[in-house]
Structure 1
Amino acid sequence: MTDLLLPRRCAGCGAPGGDLCRRCRLALRTPPQRIHTRVDPHVPVWSLGAYAGPHRRVVLAMKEHRHLAVRRFLGPVLAAAVTHLQARGELVDAPVLVPAPTRAASARMRGGDPVTDVCAATGLPVSVALRHGRRISDQVGLGAEGRRANLSGALELRRIPAGPVLLVDDVATTGSTLAASSEALFAAGCEVAGALVICHA
């Protein structure tokens, strides 16, 4: 009855019939590629695609429109990307996924932290190890220098992950969040193998 009154639509293209259509699932499963950001994140960064098309719309759906179901679909996509990187010899055998931190207010508005939810849906080890240690401004609209200054010294380690770390985020824009995250982990003596993002701008 719910589907008759409010038919489900694909988060990637808007087509009716389901949370994520076959064509968009295939688009999201492209092999991860190495990218370079304006701010040095100190580790290799891989992305599943550009911030456009289904990648962009899926990220907006899970962040801005509280589309909770699509987060579960992205879990296996992320797990497949990790397996692909391992098969290419670019990742250690068993990385611990560490979601990039998000502001508590943003997580509340979004029905939970989308990146943490996606990591949890992979079936891989996850450690929510990072948090914001002080109040930071919204990153939207800030350039590379502004984002870097905004995050400087702002992240704290909640716990030390039990193994080599793979940072995970939804979008890499300037690389500031990944840089601040890896620096906080390095300062605690953690091994950070790299970072994986759903898309890059």
Structure 2
Amino acid sequence: MRDSWAAVGDLALPRTCAGCGAPAARWCEGCLEGLAQELGRGLVRGRLGDLPVWAAGDYGGALRAAVAAYKDGERRDLRPVLSRVALPALARALDGLTVPRAGAGTVLPRDRPARVAVVPAPSRASTVRARGDDPVADLARATVARWRQTRPGGPEGRGPEVEVVRALRTVGRVQDQSRLTRAGRRRNLAGHVAVRAGVLAGDRPTAVVLFDDVVTTGATVTACRDALRSTGIALLAVVACARVP
């Protein structure tokens, strides 16, 4: 029955590969092979100051096509593909997290965090209204859900308690970043990201990880880190589907 409904849906809204336009596949075998080859090179690790950045791969080829189609091409059906793409980066970031032991200040010894908040990079409110959703936040949720299923022991297995928290928002006038220079991106976001009131209050997570689709110049990461820091919250790592080399 489900196949019949899928066929009816395809008649109303034909499904095509987001990578090459081939019919009857959201991501065809050829593009899937290309994506697998790109991701087979291993995770891309970078740093922004002392902040580790983990990405599934460089922003190019099949990975770029998938991310762009998902976020800007209204291809939300690619969320399962991209959550699988982002999973190794999230898992590696979570594996590497440590926080100061209670009462130890900022020096050793350090412990694994008990609770981690995965915070999506904020989108402009006008963009969210126009799209009708928040694709980065939705992808973060899908990736965390996949991580829970695949960690040792399954959903109730070992590891920290991880939840997605939409803790950040943009404030004031923020332009679309896509056509801005590196310096322009920094100016555009400086002072224009804030922590949502009350979201991280009370029983705070012991660690915060930022999640984004693409890390480009680092302007978004810097603005988010500064906003969190202003409320006494330390950002410990960044996870993304892709990073611009």
Q: TM-score range by the shorter chain?
A: 0.7 to 0.9
Out of 36, 39, 53, the residue aligned to residue 26 of structure 1 is 36
Using the alignment, how far apart are the partners of 1:110 and 1:163 within structure 2?
A: 33
Distance 1:27 1:200 in 2: 16
Indicate the SS of the match to 2:177: coil
C-alpha separation between the residues in 2 aligned to 1:59 and 1:10? 13
Q: Equivalent of 1:177, from 214, 220, 229?
A: 220
Give unpaired runs (5+ residues) of structure 2.
Answer: 1-7, 99-111, 146-161
1:28–1:48 contact (8 Å) kept in structure 2? no
Letter in 1 for 2:229: F
Equivalent pairs: percent with the same residue? 37
- Residue 190 of structure 1 pairs with residue 233 of structure 2: yes
Q: 1:189 to 1:24 in 2, by over 3 A?
A: farther
CA–CA separation in structure 2 for the residues paired with 1:28 and 1:95:
29
Normalization by structure 1: what TM-score?
0.84
Shift in alpha-carbon separation, 1:27–1:15, aligned structure 2, 3 A: farther
Larger Rg belongs to:
2
RMSD (Å) for aligned C-alpha atoms: 2.4
Q: Any residues of structure 2 matched to 1:83-122 within 5 Å, and which?
A: 83-86=91-94, 89-92=95-98, 95-122=116-143
Structure 1 residue aligned with 2:189: 151
Alpha-carbon distance, 1:28 to partner: 6.8
The 2-side partners of 1:41 and 1:16 are apart by: 45
Structure (1 or 2) with the greater helix fraction: 2
Structure-2 change in CA distance of 1:52 and 1:25 (3 Å): closer
**Contact 1:45/1:196 (8 A) holds in 2:** yes
Give 1:27 deviation, angstroms: 4.7
Alpha-carbon distance in structure 2 between the residues aligned to 1:10 and 1:41: 38
Matched, 1:63 2:71: yes
TM-score by length of 2: 0.70
Deviation of 1:131 (Å): 0.1
Aligned partner letter, 1:75? S
SS at match of 2:209: strand
2:209 alignment partner in structure 1? 166
- Do the aligned residues in 2 keep the contact of 1:131 with 1:156 (CA within 8 Å)? yes
Unpaired runs of 5+ residues, structure 1, are none
* Residue 135, structure 1, aligned to residue 143, structure 2: no
Please state if 1:125 is matched with 2:158: no
Aligned residue pair count: 196
